[in-house]
């Protein structure tokens, strides 16, 4: 059974942080290692990181929230990413995302109650010429529409 890593004195978290302290600019390697080990950045890691690097919780939060791939909670089994960058917005990306979120009954970053799906905003999938773009479980959806996204979700059993 996986541990929840809620203890601010968690020896596993401390060991990961300490393993990276000799690096120049250790914050990102620490965050990547934590995410790799647990699938997210446990809240209990924040005071450990702040103490070890002598940074504030606000500074740490700024870094974690800036990089969209860092998670503060375990991910859902499936992840739908919808591009929010300018090229996608210019061709209906905002309306698309609003319709998809409403259809799913989810907000950005929220997981479905059964833990099977979450929807995340991303700020470029590199598919600007075929915008709007989305991605389900690493598979791109070019010229995304609600119908295309719904079909992909259905294929995935969602």
| Each residue's pLDDT tens digit, 65-78 | 888 778 888 888 99
The pLDDT, as a whole number, for residue 73 is 82
Domain CATH number, residue 123: 3.40.30.10
Q: Is residue 126 part of a domain?
A: yes
Q: How many CB atoms lie within 10 A of CB 51?
A: 12
- Asked, for residue 1, whether it belongs to a domain, the answer is no
Give the count of domains, the chain. Answer: 2
Residue 1 clears pLDDT 50, i.e. is over it: no
Q: Do 92 and 150 fall into the same domain?
A: yes
Q: Is the domain of 149 the same as that of 85? A: yes
Mean pLDDT, range 90-113, rounded to an integer: 94
- Report pTM: 0.68
Angle at the Cα of 56 from the Cα atoms of 108 and 9, rounded to 5 degrees: 85
Q: Do 85 and 145 share a structural domain?
A: yes
Handedness of CA 36, 42, 46, 52 (dihedral sign): negative
Task: Please report the pLDDT score of residue 9 as a whole number.
Answer: 60
Residue 34 sits in which domain range?
11-66
Q: Could you tell me if 24 and 56 lie in one domain?
A: yes
**Same structural domain, 113 and 46:** no
Please check whether residues 102 and 140 belong to one and the same domain. yes
In a domain, 6, yes or no: no
Give the pLDDT of residue 133: 97
pLDDT at 26 over 70: yes
- Mark whether 104 and 145 lie in a shared domain: yes
pLDDT at 98: 96
Tens digits of per-residue pLDDT, 32-50?
999 999 989 999 999 999 9
Domain-embedded: residue 94 = yes
Tell whether 44 and 87 lie within a shared domain: no
Q: Give the pLDDT confidence of 118-155 residue by residue, as tens digits.
A: 999 998 999 999 999 999 999 999 999 999 999 999 99
44 lies in the same domain as 93 = no
- Same domain, yes or no, for 82 and 144? yes
Torsion of CA 42, 48, 54, 55, to 10 degrees: 20
Please give the average per-residue pLDDT across 16-21, as a whole number.
96
Evaluate whether residue 2 is within a structural domain. no
Identify whether residues 98 and 143 lie together within a single domain.
yes
Distance CA 12, CA 18 (A): 10
Band (2; pLDDT cuts 50, 70, 90): very low
């Amino acid at each position: 059974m996986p541990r929840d890593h809620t203890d601010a004195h968690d020896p596993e978290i401390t060991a990961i942080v300490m393993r990276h302290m000799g690096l120049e600019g250790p914050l990102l390697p620490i965050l990547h290692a934590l995410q790799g080990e647990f699938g997210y950045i446990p809240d209990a890691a924040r005071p450990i990181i702040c103490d070890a690097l002598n940074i504030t919780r606000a500074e740490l939060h700024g870094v974690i929230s800036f990089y969209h791939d860092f998670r503060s909670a375990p991910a859902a089994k499936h992840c739908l990413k919808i591009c929010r960058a300018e090229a996608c917005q210019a061709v209906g990306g905002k309306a698309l995302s609003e319709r998809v979120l409403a259809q799913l009954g989810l907000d950005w970053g929220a997981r479905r109650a059964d833990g099977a799906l979450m929807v995340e905003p991303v700020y470029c999938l590199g598919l600007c010429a075929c915008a709007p773009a989305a991605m389900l479980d690493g598979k791109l959806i070019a010229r995304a529409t609600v119908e295309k996204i719904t079909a992909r979700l259905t294929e995935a059993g969602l």
